[in-house]
Amino acid sequence: MTDRLKAMPYTSELWKERYPRLVNILADEPAATKGNLVARNLSGGGRWDDVTKVARPYVTFENNHVAQDGVHLEAMPDAARLQADALANVPAFQPIPLTKIGLYPDQHRTTLPPT
């Protein structure tokens, strides 16, 4: 990873402005996994939080939910969703609006490809 970083102009003014934390990344514990955020995940059980003890101090966990008894995922052909009775048990859960994802007609795309 260090070679890949050095191949990029990460100390240039443009990169300093957009990615200010990269400028000194090799001087400050370069092998540490700093700045990682694990947020707003929903786990249906099993191992999901498999972060080593060495890396854990560098990771921030926010608003994750691990399903308990009575709160489980319902399998679907292409996705998973919470069963309706479980939604009340998941704080601030907002389902992904699947009907709003994908191609849609607008001023630039007046027709859709056949499905």
Q: Are residues 26 and 71 in the same domain?
A: no
* pLDDT tens digits for range 37-62: 988 787 776 777 888 898 889 899 98
Residue 2: domain span: 1-31
CA distance 49 to 65: 11
Q: Are residues 49 and 75 in the same domain?
A: yes
CA distance 5 to 26: 9
Q: How many CB atoms lie within 10 A of CB 21?
A: 10
For the full predicted model, state whether its pTM sits above 0.95.
no
Q: Are residues 6 and 41 in the same domain?
A: no
Backbone angles phi and psi of 80, in degrees to 5: -135, 150
Q: Are residues 47 and 65 in the same domain?
A: yes
User: For the chain, how many structural domains are there in total?
Assistant: 2
Q: Are residues 56 and 15 in the same domain?
A: no
Q: Are residues 25 and 62 in the same domain?
A: no
46-56: burial string, b at 16+ Cβ within 10 Å, e else: eeeeeeeeeee
**pLDDT greater than 60 at residue 73:** no
